[in-house]
């Protein structure tokens, strides 16, 4: 895997950057959002479960959210993952 990103900073979207980590480092998720207060945990949960489903164990996810809905978050994350794997 290589560092990759997907999404935009436009309203209702999310920009996700993924960086592979050393085996054993685990999953680190940093979220910046204009709705962090209300939805921070929900965004975190979508990202964590999507990573788990995709079998990704050691990765640093940086997400800048601009009010994206769950399926947008999932779609952007999967695209970033796909790019990260293809780049390897």
Partner 1 sequence: MSWHGFEERSIDLARADEVEAVRAFLARFDLSFDASVDYTVALYQGRTMVATGSMAGEVLRNIAVAADMQGEGLTARVVSHLIQEAGARGIFHHFIYTKPDAAHLFSALGFKEIARAEPYAALLESGLGSIAEHCKMLAAQVADLPPGPRAVLVVNCNPFTLGHRAVIEKAARENASVVVLVVEEDRSLFPYADRLRLVKEGVADLTNVRVLPGGKYVISAATFPAYFTRGEEITKAQTRLDAEVFGRHIAPALGATRRYVGSEPYCAVTATYNDAMLAVLPRYGIEMLVMPRIEVEAAPVSASRVRELIRQDGWDEIAKLVPETTYRYLRAPETAAVIERIKTSQSRH
Contact residues: partner 1, CB under 8 A: 3-5, 8-11, 15, 17, 19, 32, 34, 60, 62, 64, 66
**Shortest distance (Å) from residue 3 CB to partner 1:** 5
Of 19 and 54, the one with the shorter C-beta distance to partner 1 is 19
d(CA 16, CA 29): 10
d(CA 16, CA 44): 12
**Shortest distance (Å) from residue 41 CB to partner 1:** 18
């Amino acid at each position: 895997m290589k560092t990759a990103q997907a999404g935009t900073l436009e309203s209702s979207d999310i920009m996700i950057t993924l960086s592979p980590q050393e085996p054993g480092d685990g999953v680190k998720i940093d979220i910046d959002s204009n709705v962090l207060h209300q939805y921070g945990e929900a965004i975190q949960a979508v990202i964590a479960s999507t990573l788990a489903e995709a079998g990704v164990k050691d990765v640093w996810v940086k997400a800048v959210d601009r009010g994206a809905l769950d399926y947008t978050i999932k779609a952007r994350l999967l695209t970033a993952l796909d790019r990260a794997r293809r780049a390897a």
